[in-house]
Amino acid sequence: MHLYSRQILLDGWDIEAQEKLKLANVLIVGCGGIGCTTAELLARAGVGKITLIDSDTIEVSNLQRQIAYTEQDVGFYKAEILAKRLQAINPFIEVRAKLEKLVELNSELLISQQDLVLDGCDNFSTRYLVNAVCHQFSVPLISASAIGFQGQLFMVEGESACYECLFPKEDHANESLRCADSGVLATTPNVMASLQAHHALLYLGLGLTPLKEKLLLWDGLSMKQRIVNFQIDENCSTCQVI
């Protein structure tokens, strides 16, 4: 109670909302610039069960923006180091680390039991897979991305339009834009992760879905934020399955 007292004091946030966080199962896909910050904020806020998945190890070039890691962590698995950090920050939650890539074979088992999936991975194929499996098992998804000075955030829930409706697969078939190739300012993924974690708390604690079928675009040069609606695409292969 003492740990979460500033949250429980909040108008519109009570013990019931805090208990909902405690009971929540959340999967964080990717422990990079977005996943590090999202995971830490959720652990501090009191989300009860957090599963991290990432097969990457920490590189020196990650330290510029991935706030959970230090120079001593280089070479170790990101998910393992991040899990230890979360557990040190909040020993009252359960943290699991999966040191593997999210692929079709493990995706159903990992995603189907979650109350919410937070995607912050660095590639399109994982994003499409996470989207498809979340859709299949009706698991809500909040997806954040950051590249250069730009960030995006949206939510997929229930019968809403999905990631593939928003970004048709054909458009991205040959694209492999990643931070690794195109550069990113230290702050951009952390801004988007904070927004993603904030939305996750709104959803888990209060059942709010302000970015359902809405794409938030954040421009890190002008500091402007826009929110645009998107709809089900009748050609979307994910939405047509059901």
Crossing angle of helices 188-206 and 33-45, rounded to 10°: 40
Confirm or reject binding of residue 238 to Zn ion (CB under 5 A). Answer: yes
Confirm or reject binding of residue 236 to Zn ion (CB under 5 A). Answer: yes
Task: Please give the residue whose beta carbon sits closest to Zn ion in the complex.
Answer: 236
For residue 239, what is the enclosing H or E element? helix 237-240
CB 36 within 8 A of CB 67: yes
Nearer to Zn ion, 43 or 130 (CB): 130
Structure tokens at 165: 């409706």
CB-neighbour burial class of residue 63 (10 A; exposed 0-12, middle 13-18, buried 19+): middle
Residues binding Zn ion: number (CB under 5 A):
6
CB 64 within 8 A of CB 186: yes
Confirm or reject binding of residue 133 to Zn ion (CB under 5 A). Answer: no
CB of 51 to Zn ion, least distance (A): 25
Confirm or reject binding of residue 166 to Zn ion (CB under 5 A). Answer: no
Interface with Zn ion (CB under 5 A), residue from 164, 193, 199, 211: 164
The interface region with Zn ion, picked from 22-30, 84-92, 115-123, 231-239 by CB under 5 A, is: 231-239
For residue 5, what is the enclosing H or E element? helix 5-8
The interface region with Zn ion, picked from 89-97, 152-160, 163-171, 200-208 by CB under 5 A, is: 163-171
The site for Zn ion (CB under 5 A) is made up of: 162, 164-165, 236, 238-239
